[in-house]
Every structure is written in structure tokens, then in C-alpha cells.
Structure 1
């Protein structure tokens, strides 16, 4: 009798683990190698359980998550938003659709892209190649209507790209050029709804509204709300 009860409890627990977790805390994707194959599972910090997605994600690199949705890039530098518990996938605009006044992005073969500064008319100007490993991203998806915001960057570069639901291209957010001095650069960033918070190099918080009310698709609302986390470091010129 006791053995039967234990078996039923084990079955009930396994059944729970392969169901969808409740929305709330962001999910974490766990990867492991088993018999030469990569296996993915999803950990929910809210209930401390590991869930088993049905789809195969071996060809993706995970950049960010929002609820059950993950921002991923494949080996051809194509971006998608995927539901890890169904076959639903949203194809995002190609990286070379990026539109900005300072930089442009070009396709460089099947698996790479490159960017260059538009203001430089030198035919031998520098081109900076990028692979999937160079891409970083943030994702937010609205639970009720599925509207989304995607923000990405090439590691250690001077601009961000972003798009919203329905966009067919990415817009440019400069992080150095044309940016107020204390808000330049990027250590890290947090995306919450249409609000992007950038931790700038001089340790101020740059707050951007990505709701699309401005001509550029975003508005810097941090001008009157600069919030240093501690006293910013002085530049070499300021120390003299």
C-alpha cells in the first residue's frame, strides 16, 4: 500500500514538472550534455522547479527572457522570440534592417554581420564584424496582449538597436555620440515594459522611454532625473 502511494506521488510530481509554470518570475534556461546531445530544461525561481520544454533549442543562443518567452539568435544571426512550451515563434527583423543616423549594419556572409560609422566617408573606413557570440539582448513581453520590446547590442560598442511589436526594422540608440556626458557608455541595462534603464560608464542611470512617442522612437527622460548610485569617478582631465 505504501509503495503504491509513493509511486502515485512520483507520477504526480513528474506530471507537474512537464506542465507550464505559472507566470511571474523570469525563467532560466539550463543546458547540459547527455550522450553527446545538448539538453535544455527551464528552471522557475518562483517555485524552485525544473520544467521540460517539448521543443529542441540546440540551434539557438539565448539572450534574454520575459515570462515563458525567450529572445534567441541562431547561427545565421537571425533573431526570434520563442515560447519554450509550444511551437510558437516570432521572427524578428533582420539585423541589417537597422536604421540610424550614426551607424549602419551590413550582412557579412551567412553567419556574420558588420557595422560601420555612417559619418565616415573614408572608403577604407573601419568595419567591425560580429558573430552570434557578440550579441547581447533584453526582452519584455506583455502578458495580456503579447506586445513586446526587444533591445540588443554588440558587446562593447557605441549603440543599441531596438524594435517593438509590428516594427519591420530596428531603431538606433546611441550610447556615446550625441549623448549627455554623464550618461555616456553602458555597463549594463534593464528593460521593464517600455522603460530602458542604462547604467552609464560614469555610474549614472540613463532612463529611456521606448513607447514610441518621440520621432526617434524613444525619448530620453533622464535629463531631470539623473540618479548616481554613488559619487561618479572623475575623468583624467577633471583630476588635473
Structure 2
């Protein structure tokens, strides 16, 4: 039985604990605590408060290391190759019928079967719902009509004065082309996505609705559709089906097209396949320097369907697109994410999944809808050797499971 003195001591300890400001821990102590955390908790800790974020920035930097997102039915797991560890139960806040569209650091752009978009943080579970596509869409006189019949394969239709396009899961996922940019410190973000090569929609934090760009870009009498897009340094780069690149500046209150200072518009990219080569996809990528790259994935049929990636960059003097061997000094990229990522200063040894510059991380679904000869659902292409390293097999890694790459901590 506790004595009165014991009860008084316990009450004193409780009051001390309640009154203690955990944001004011000694910097050296807090830094030591943060550096001892596992990777997920390490990145979560910086969101506690501004003081913790300040100390977090002084911690020993952990190399940016691509992780894998593993989807199994309605569950989601994260695999960290450096720790060789799977984190389960990381889909709190994700809708069951939602699908991946784009990624930016710890954040995913998701869409569900109602064509409702939201942004989701894989580490903190924070969710940001975007305006409904059924609400008023600015520009272009287009509207989305949702299918009200439960279980119907069609999600709805986009309707404008000239056409009516069916919206289905296979069109959204198989032809997925979207971009997400988010500033974790300020909370600012930009989302843009292409539907069926025809419609281009964007939304910036603070807007009151989605924006449709179809009638707001200079066509210059050229008939083109949208193939891919990328975002960096407040600019949205649009890669068209006829090889041209348009640029939209989002730095002001209202986005505007860059016309006079766009060196890419009058010099389209052209590539003709070699014999026995099948071009899978072409993606646009922006380097840290702001230069534009075109990444082309290809299957070489005569080499047991060998996968290759070609990189092209426009020569600023001749304005001719030339094949290059590098994606930039100390840079790597995730195919389809639109920007290069800082690679470790020194190569990181994580078994068969070595992290190094000049690597392209890809998912098999990014190459073509069906590809049965792959060893795994995702791979790492080394530009220096043209060799693909397939991540080691695990119990979740089969063709019925979807995987994606993401880079925690990248901003």
C-alpha cells in the first residue's frame, strides 16, 4: 500500500511530466535520439514541431534511398532495402479502391473509383483531399459526369461541346500520366494530370477549382495531344505526342504559358526505332540544373526481350536532340516521376539493390501493361553497364502484386 509520501512523489513526477516542453530538449540529446530512430520514425520526427525540424536538419544525413511500396489486395507495405525491413500497416487513411497516380518524396497522389483525388503522406498518414472533379472546372467548357450506378465499370464521362470521353479504371491506370509537387515545409503543392492524351487538368493549393488547359495553350496550328508532363522550379513541362514541349509557369498567382523563352517548342524530339526494337514509353525528366531530358524505354526482341533505357538531351548550340550517357552528376531517377534525385556521394551497398548515381528505378507496369518475362515487378537499370538488377524475391513479390518506388525525405 502506498504511503502518503509515495503518493506525493508520484503526483510531483506527474506534474513535471505534464509541464515539460518536449520541444525544448537539449539539442545534443535530441539529435542523439533522432539519429537512433528507424528510418520511418526518423522522417516522422521532423514533423513534430519547428524546433525538432531544426535539430533534425543537423542530424547525420541518411542517403536518399529508393524504397518499394508493395500493394497486396487492400493493404500497403513499405520495404526499406537498406534495413532489409518491411513496414506493415502503413495505409491508414488510404481509400480501399484508390490507385497510385504520382509521387513526390513521402507523398502520393491517389485517385479512387469516383475520380476523387487526394494527396497522402506515407509516413505521417496525413491526407489532403482535392476538389471534386464534379465541381466547376475552369476553362474549356468541360465537365465530369459521374456514373451513379454502383459497381458499373465506367466511372463516368468527361463532356465538352465537341466530345464525350468515357472514364474507366483501365484508361486511368494504364495510360497514367500525372505529376505531384509538394513543399513539406510550407505545405504548398501543385497537381497536374493528363486524361486519355486529350485533357490536361491542374490544381494549385489555394485555387477554388480544377483548371482545364485545353483551350489555354497556344496551338500554333499544330494538332497535338498530351503524352507526359513534369514539374520543377515552379514550371510545368508538357510533352506532346508530336514531340514538342510546352512550359507553363506556376510561380505567380495565376499560371501562364512561357512562349518567348521556351527553347524546346520549335525543336521537337524525334526517334525512329531500330529493327527488332519495340518502344515502350517516352517520359520527360527535369534535371537539377533545369535542363530537360527525354527518357525512352525499349524492349529488344532479339535479346530475350531485354529492357533498355535511352536518354536524350537537346544540344543548346545546335538545337538538336542527342543521345547522352548520363542523367547528370550524382543524380538518379525513378522512371515516370519527372525529376532527377540526388544520389549518395558514395555508392550505398544494400546487397543486390545497390544505390548509386546513374541508376533508373522502374516498375514493370511503367514499361507496358503486360510484361511476363520480368524477373520481378521492379528493377534498377545501370546506365553505365546497361545491366538490370532485379530486387530479391520475397513472399509478396509476384506478378499479382503491384509495386512502386518512392524516396522518403526527397523534396
| Same fold, judged at TM 0.5 (above) | yes
Aligned length: 206
Q: 2:133 aligns with which of 92, 95, 98?
A: 95
Distance (whole Å) between structure 2 residues aligned to residue 80 and residue 222 of structure 1: 31
Q: Distance in 2 between matches of 1:43 and 1:180?
A: 47
Match of 2:157 among 105, 114, 120: 114
Structure with higher Rg: it is 2
> Residues 39, 81 of structure 1: CA spacing in aligned structure 2 closer, same or farther, 3 A cutoff?
same
Deviation digits for residues 93-133 of structure 1, max 9, x if unmatched? Answer: 00122222243222232672311223x4xxxxx42220344
How far did 1:41 drift? 2.7
CA contact (8 A) 1:203 1:232 kept: no
Counterpart of 1:148 in structure 2 is: 189
Distance 1:152 1:145, change over 3 A: same
2: distance between equivalents of 1:193 and 1:109?
40
| Residue of 113, 124, 138 corresponding to 1:75 | 113
Question: Which residue does the alignment assign to 1:139?
Answer: 180
Distance 1:181 1:24 in 2: 47
Equivalent in 124, 149, 156 of residue 86 of structure 1:
124
TM-score, normalised to structure 1, is 0.69
1:11 match: none
Q: Secondary structure at the match of 2:219?
A: coil
Does the aligned pair in 2 maintain the 1:186–1:198 contact within 8 Å? yes
> Which of 167, 177, 190 is the matching residue for 2:207?
167
RMSD: 3.5
Structure 2: gaps spanning 5 or more residues: 1-36, 44-60, 273-411
Uncovered stretches (5+) of structure 1, i.e. residues with no partner: 1-14, 121-125, 234-240
8 A Cα contact 1:32 1:40, kept in partner: yes
Measure how far apart 1:70 and its partner are: 0.8
**What secondary structure, in the 3-state scheme, does the structure 2 residue paired with 1:72 have?**
strand
Query: What CA distance in whole angstroms lies between the structure 2 residues aligned with 1:140 and 1:99?
Result: 21
Which residue does 1:19 correspond to in 2?
41
2:330 counterpart residue number: none
Alpha-carbon offset, residue 180 of structure 1 = 2.7
Shift of 1:207: 1.0
Relative contact order: is structure 1 or structure 2 higher (C-alpha 8 Å, sep ≥ 6)? 2
- TM-score, structure 2 as length reference: 0.43
Offset at residue 153 of structure 1 (A): 2.1
User: Residue 219 of structure 1 corresponds to which residue in structure 2?
Assistant: 256
Matched residue, 2:305: none
Q: Is the 8 A contact 1:69 1:84 kept in 2?
A: yes
Q: Give 1:198 shift.
A: 1.2
What displacement does 1:168 show? 2.8
Q: Structure 2: how far apart are the matches of 1:201 and 1:174?
A: 14
